[in-house]
Amino acid sequence: MIEYIDTHTHLFVKEFDEDRDTAVARAIEAGVSRMCLPCIDSSSIEPIMAMCDKYPGICYPMIGLHPTDVADDYQQQLQTMHDTLQNNDRFIAIGEVGLDFYWDDTRKEQQIEAFETQIEWAAATGLPLVIHSRSAFDALYEVMERHRNRSLTGIFHCFSGSAEEARALLCCPGFMLGIGGTITYKKSTLPQVLKEAVPLERIVLETDSPYLAPVPKRGRRNESAYIPHIAEFLSNIYCCDESEIARITTENAKKTFTKIN
């Protein structure tokens, strides 16, 4: 039986309000046995935990402040999250955290400060990091270099960089690259990057739903049930069966998220 893990899905957001339960059912029918829910800000905690309460052993929570949500109240947001983290041992990762200078680069220093604060949480708890990076590779690499000797683990979510950037990130030995629907897009350079620089043993699958639906679902709301389309595409890149893609990426996800059953 093929088993997938969607390491990054925002099933708790409003886009799923009309059919959240059936979206979970479709994912399970497609072979997605576990779905990992990244946090956006402190208001995400309650709906994430509600989903995990409803689907124990299927949905798993993360906690963290998304870089685009680093606003005037970011220190208060971080304090709320840190207090929650200290009083709840169910979180499987610190995420979604990182740096994003694509839309607004006026809060670079605050984003870096928030990111490093949450790296400290990961170091203190032993939890993996789920790292978002957009238009911020150089700054991200500088931060990771400062913490190279701290035995951190995690996922570089939604990787879309060059072969050179992939090699640089994979020098962080405890980290995987999260690969999702963008790899199926006609103009994507990711297939060649993976062939050149990324062994299958360093990849996990993700949807980032409701965003970035893969071909042939592009243009629709993404959901975890579409993971097999990503696996099918990867099977052509790595010249193996989809079952092998599922087996290895599921092992990689379990190795990263050690609190997943």
Q: For residue 180, is it within any domain? A: yes
Nearest-5° Cα angle at 50, 29 to 155: 70
Neighbours of 145 (CB within 10 A): 12
The DSSP-derived string for 73-95 is THHHHHHHHHHHHHT-----EEE
Q: For residue 111, is it within any domain? A: yes
Q: For residue 141, is it within any domain? A: yes
Residue holding tokens 């879309």?
A: 160
Low-confidence ranges of the chain (pLDDT < 70): none
The answer to whether 91 and 124 are in contact (CB under 8 A) is no
Residue 68: which domain range?
4-256
Strand extents, DSSP E, 151-239? 154-156, 175-179, 203-205
Q: For residue 214, is it within any domain? A: yes
Q: For residue 60, is it within any domain? A: yes
- H or E stretch including 113? helix 108-125
- pLDDT per residue over 64-107, tens digit each? 999 999 999 999 999 999 999 999 999 999 999 999 999 888 89
Report pLDDT for 123.
97
Q: For residue 36, is it within any domain? A: yes
Report pLDDT for 104.
86
End-to-end Cα separation, the chain, in angstroms? 17
Report pLDDT for 147.
94
Query: Residue 219 has what DSSP assignment?
Result: T
Report pLDDT for 58.
98
Q: For residue 261, is it within any domain? A: no
Query: Residue 214 has what DSSP assignment?
Result: P
Long-range contacts of 193-196 (CB under 8 A, 24+ apart): 193/161, 193/162, 193/163, 193/166, 194/166, 194/234, 194/237, 194/238, 195/237, 196/163
Q: How many domains does the chain have?
A: 1
The CATH number for 35's domain is 3.20.20.140
pTM (predicted TM-score): 0.97
Q: For residue 87, is it within any domain? A: yes
Report pLDDT for 261.
76
